[in-house]
């Protein structure tokens, strides 16, 4: 049996156990090309914990995170973040409610541009996608390097906030549009959420999902839109505002 080394790290009062050792890992490199800071958040859905669950990503400081084998989870960007006089850290979009830069196992608030990935699936390949099912907050592209399979780019490089329909807009404290809700988030119901009888057999695209798909054809636009990309790449580059 392979032996693991357990390294213990504490980030912003969030206790993180990270298993490392002889098992293969993937490398996620985060790059911020936005004109503003982005705070990536990371949520483990299955497999070992990560060495971090959230951090500041400046435009001049790419960050690389080692992701353990057989990990699955979600990655996203938080924007317009600040710390108040009581030391509570919050973000206008993508906030995970932990009160710190580390998300500590919490998921993001919608609307959110979401990267979903499962490493080392049943066929030995990773499956991944960028989803707008829960809306959009920041442009994002994901590119692989090396590997085999259908190793395509996924993402939403377009700033949908600039074109978001009025009924889907999320307005920030400064009065500008900071996020664009999905129709499911905004209105609910089986027509937009595909959660009624028959689900995907009876739920098709709407004018709202077509808006997202037209702007970002390489991202999921609603719950029943296509399937994930399958690849065994060891390296992923996640770029905000590509």
Q: Which CATH number among 2.60.110.10, 3.30.930.10, 3.30.479.10, 3.40.50.1820 corresponds to the domain 4-240?
A: 2.60.110.10
More confident residue, 38 or 228: 38
Q: What is the mean pLDDT of the chain?
A: 89
Output the pTM of the full model: 0.89
182 with 84: CB under 8 angstroms?
A: no
Tell me the domain boundaries of the chain.
Answer: 4-240
Buried b (16+ CB within 10 A) or exposed e, 205-223: ebebbebbbebbebbbbbb
pLDDT band per the 50, 70, 90 thresholds, residue 2: very low
Structure tokens at 86: 């009581």
Buried b (16+ CB within 10 A) or exposed e, 154-172: bbbbbbbbeebeeebbbee
pLDDT at residue 232 tops 90: no
Beta-strand pair 235-240/25-32 = parallel
- Look-up: residue for tokens 């990560």? 50
Q: What is the DSSP string of 72-111?
A: EEEEEEEEEEEE-TTS-EEEEES--SSSSSS-TTPPPPSS
pLDDT band per the 50, 70, 90 thresholds, residue 17: very low
Task: Identify the pLDDT of residue 1.
Answer: 34
Structure tokens at 184: 């499911």
Q: What's the CA gap between 73 and 64, in Å, rounded?
A: 17
Which of 156, 136, 52 is CA-nearest to residue 94? 136
Q: What's the CA gap between 111 and 160, in Å, rounded?
A: 12
Share of the chain above pLDDT 70, in %: 90
Nearest-10 Cα torsion for 196, 197, 200, 202:
-100
Task: Identify the pLDDT of residue 14.
Answer: 65
Tens of pLDDT, residue by residue over 40-54, are 999 999 999 999 999
Across 23-32, 99-108, 139-148, 219-228, least confident range: 23-32
- Look-up: residue for tokens 């299955």? 46
The residues, any chain, with a CB within 8 Å of residue 161's CB and separated by 6 or more, are 136, 137, 169, 177, 178, 179, 180
Phi, psi of 118 (to 5 degrees): -125, 120
Q: What's the CA gap between 117 and 129, in Å, rounded?
A: 7
């Amino acid at each position: 049996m392979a032996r693991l080394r357990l390294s213990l790290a504490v980030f912003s009062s969030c206790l993180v156990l990270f298993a490392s050792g002889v098992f293969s890992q993937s490398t996620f490199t985060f790059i911020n090309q936005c004109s503003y800071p982005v705070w990536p958040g990371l949520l483990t859905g299955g497999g070992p914990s990560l060495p971090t669950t959230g951090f500041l990503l400046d435009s001049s400081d790419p960050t690389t995170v080692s992701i353990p084998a057989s990990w699955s989870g979600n990655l996203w960007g938080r924007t317009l973040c600040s710390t108040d006089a009581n030391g509570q850290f919050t973000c206008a979009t993508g906030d995970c409610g932990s009160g710190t830069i580390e998300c500590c196992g919490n998921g993001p608030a919608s609307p959110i541009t979401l990267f979903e990935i499962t490493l080392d699936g049943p066929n030995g390949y990773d499956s991944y996608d960028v989803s707008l099912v829960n809306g959009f907050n920041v442009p994002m592209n994901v590119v692989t390097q090396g590997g085999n399979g259908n190793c395509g780019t996924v993402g939403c490089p377009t700033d949908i906030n600039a074109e978001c329909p009025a009924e889907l807009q999320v307005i920030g404290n400064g009065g500008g549009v900071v996020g664009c809700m999905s129709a499911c988030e905004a209105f609910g119901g089986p027509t937009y959420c595909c959660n009624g009888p028959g689900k995907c057999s009876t739920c098709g695209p709407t004018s709202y999902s077509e808006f997202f798909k037209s702007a970002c054809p390489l991202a999921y636009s609603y719950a029943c839109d296509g399937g994930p990309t399958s690849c065994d790449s060891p390296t992923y580059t996640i770029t905000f505002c590509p």
